[in-house]
Amino acid sequence: MEDDFDWFLNRAALIFSCWKLVLTGSITLFTVGTASLLLLLPTTYSSHSVLPLSAHGKAILTTEVILDPVARKVNPPDEVLDVERRRQSLASAITLSSELNPGSGLYTLTFTDQSPTAAQAVLNNIVETILTASKPTGSARAEALQQLETLVKAKSDLEALATTLTGNTNRVKDGGEGELYARALAVLVSDIAAKKSKLWQLRNYLEGTSLEDVLVRPTLPNKPDPKGLLAKLLSLAIGSVGLMIFGAIFRHSWRQRRANRNVAKSPNSALSELRVA
């Protein structure tokens, strides 16, 4: 244990004695590495949009329902489409945040591309496709319309009955009959409120998500993403310092071994000179 501690102290003293070499070499390596990183690392831009998404909307976000129409819009008409490959490429560039506020149903949708205008354009297409897909079609729409018609009629009948009961309650204010009318009216009012709530949900379902519901339209990014760059620069800095420390220790060890070999050769050389004499 004591030998290990002495070894550590010796290495620390060695690094301290070579601090100029370590510092200069680290700065040089970091500068060269940063320049290479900036040249080789692709610059990316992210467009953001804030919009409401249902559980169904989140589930289909990276499926063919959304991405295939977008892939066909993004690629030129004369280009042969590999839809599966393009879908995977689009899906890998999409990021969905967690819910911004619990219960709000609002999310930040991000698309990343090497061109800022392309990032915004693709995200615009994605949002438009989400809005279209949020509206029911076919049998689902027909069923919802039927439910809506039935609810409207039921609500109208209940409101007519409530009007009649209100008149009867006003005429018979006291006694058991008046209390009976009042209780029936309270039940009717509660039932009408439930029907109104269901009607509101059905109408929202039929309308889907509209463009007015999108709180933040897809943005045009004006700065490249710093994401990942800071981590790479930090790793590069640590690597540069570590490499120079290793180089300083290796240089010291190599010089020490060479000095030991020279010392070992010196007595043999003196002995040879005495024999010649």
Which ranges of 210-228 does DSSP label H, i.e. alpha helix?
A: none
The per-residue pLDDT for range 128-140, each reduced to its tens digit, is 998 888 887 778 7
Token pair of 114 as six digits: 């090497």
Predicted TM-score of the model (pTM): 0.57
Nearest alpha carbon to residue 47 among 97, 113, 106: 113
Confidence at 77, pLDDT banded by 50, 70, 90: low
The per-residue pLDDT for range 92-123, each reduced to its tens digit, is 899 999 888 888 889 999 999 988 999 999 99
Q: How far apart are CA 116 and CA 121, in angstroms?
A: 9
Highest mean pLDDT among 5-19, 24-38, 175-189, 194-208: 194-208
SS3 41: coil
Only one residue has tokens 């009948």, namely 157
The per-residue pLDDT for range 12-28, each reduced to its tens digit, is 666 666 766 667 777 78
SS3 113: strand
